Amino acid sequence: MNYPSLREFIDKLEREEELLRIKESVSPILEITEITDRISKQPGGGKALLFENVEGSSMSVLINAFGSAKRMNMALGVHDIEDIPKRIERYIKIPPPSTLLDKAKLLPMLLEATQFPPKLLNTTHPPCQEIVQLNDDIDIGKIPVLQCWPDDAGRFITFPIVINRSTDNKIRNVGLYRMQVYDKKTTAMHWHIHKDGAHFFHEYKKQNKVMEVAVALGADPASCYSASAPLPYGIDEFLLAGFIRKKSVPLVKCKTVDLEVPANAEIVLEGYIDPSEMRLEGPFGDHTGYYSQDGDYPVLHITAITHRKDPVYLTTIVGKPPQEDFYLGRATERIFLPLLKTQLPEIVDMNMPAEGVFHNCVIVSIDKRYPMQSRRIMSALWGLGQMSFVKIIITVDSKVNVHDYEEVAKILLSTVDFETDLFFSEGILDVLNHASDQVLYGSKLGIDLTSKIEGEPGYGKDVPPLIETKRLPRPEEITKIFQEIKTCQIRELQVPVLLVALDKQTKNQGSKFIDAFFANSEFSAIEILIVLESHVDLTNISIVMWKLFNNLDPKRDLYFKNNRVGIDVTKKLPEEGYQQNWPEEIEMSSEIKTKVNKKWPTLFKE
């Protein structure tokens, strides 16, 4: 089904028992985040939450609405997310018509593809403009905007559908860019340098023009999703939303700017950005699980706030995975796979693990036909749009299920050859990547787990003969010798893996520990050594992998010795050549945790 607005989606969530209404009074300052974080980390993503009694506002707050595979399917009107890429493939794989009959057969499909562009309504009273606030009536403080984490710089709008146009007014951009609230009438506009919004902004700056902006807070689910989608430059996100919901997105003119917004939106902010004005924004607890750096960003001056009579404020939180954004990202992974295959047809499937927070790890299966094809795929992906930010790419054979992490890990641990299977590169990285010594730039790693074919390094290489199994040391034997270890754990997988929580106090301590450990013959049974920070819970393998993907700079942090590898993913210091500011991990305050603990037994009572 398609939903005219967020209201119908909420009703559907309730009918499907996917929504929890919370009537108890809660604060938008940290409390809603702590409650949502606990729910979103339940198996399968927990339930959507509707907070109906938020301190300081008459508006309800909807959060975690897209935070499960089931709810993501519901939002996009499908039983299975794979239905959407199948529809896309129908158009991608159309052979060129050779006869008039062939052209006639294409007509229904072409009509379907073109009948869902956004539709401008000629109405003076759309739902999103039932209430209009201008001049002194403007007060963004009436919206229950969250402060998500203790060290955030303030309150942040985290799910805004931001709408703007190119300087020639020909191309519309719709994107999701967080917005820090400064006061009643101004917010930041945080767009990264690679986003279309930032590109348009710089064009306005060159021409010394003021940029008009509109922001929809809560729209139909397909439009909410489409704003997050990495569409090619110039493709209207509302067109994608129409394609997904099989019905055009109705738009209306704004009151004070020359832009169009979804007619059924809950809340709309209208305003402008003066490119000559920048203001400090951040820090902010981001989707990496760390606080992103503060920095100067454009300022949105609000000229109008319009909304429904009883608006629902749609928002989200990000932080240590998994969170709601994982399911939005998984939808993008599936929906855009057919488009990726048009450029790289040997790709069979792909997967972005939650612990890789989208840009730190991608697993790709390929139909391999010639030597070094995996390296070609890796290089090609590192040159494609937002895939260029990926730090680790793992390639496997077409028969391997990239969504089965246990299967992929088994192949990795039992077959990887450090001499032939690792491919190091360098290039641009996401601005949120803190691991590399320099901002926006660092090393990348490709791991080729495909079967070797003739002409490739490693083809025909003799498998080393089985030798007598070495005795694994006990953890206390290791901690007795290396007293800087807080704790350690041995994982008996295809090869023995040692996880170490190191109390790092001095520069290069991690690499020196790896050298000393490998030099000790008593511990020669350990083939993979991963050195983490002292506070890491080694029993939580998801947290361990999240730490590894986040903190790794491959060229700097991998140490090889006789087909053994040590991986140093401890915090790096300026004395070690690190030139960024290593961010703090996101963690809720003990005061808020205690407060929520007291409320928890009564939060979900009818």
Residues marked active site are found at 286
Contact 49, 22 (CB under 8 A): yes
Rg of the chain over all Cα atoms, to the nearest angstrom? 26
Amino acid at site 340: L
CA distances from 239 to 15, 24, 114, 196, 213 (A): 29, 40, 9, 16, 19
Most distant CA atoms of the chain, gap in Å: 82
The closest alpha carbon to 240, from 88, 90, 108, 64, belongs to 88
Give the C-alpha separation, 209 to 273, whole Å.
9
Give the C-alpha separation, 175 to 534, whole Å.
39
Give the C-alpha separation, 409 to 361, whole Å.
13
Tokens 């000393």 -> residue = 516
CA distances from 304 to 185, 269, 401, 440 (A): 9, 6, 50, 36
Strand 422-428 to 250-253 pairing = unpaired
Residue 482, φ and ψ in degrees, nearest 5: -110, 90
Answer positive or negative: Cα dihedral of 519, 521, 523, 528: positive
Q: What does the block give as tokens for 158?
A: 């985290």
Q: What does the block give as tokens for 217?
A: 């807070």
Amino acid at site 540: N
Give the C-alpha separation, 21 to 145, whole Å.
18
Give the other-Cβ count within 10 Å of 270's Cβ: 25
Amino acid at site 367: D
* Alpha helices in 27-143, H assignment, sequence order: 31-40, 69-75, 83-92, 100-114
The closest alpha carbon to 209, from 163, 258, 273, 299, belongs to 273
Torsional class of 452: left (φ above 0), alpha (ψ -120 to 50), beta (otherwise): beta
Give the C-alpha separation, 3 to 475, whole Å.
56
DSSP 8-state assignment for residue 572? P
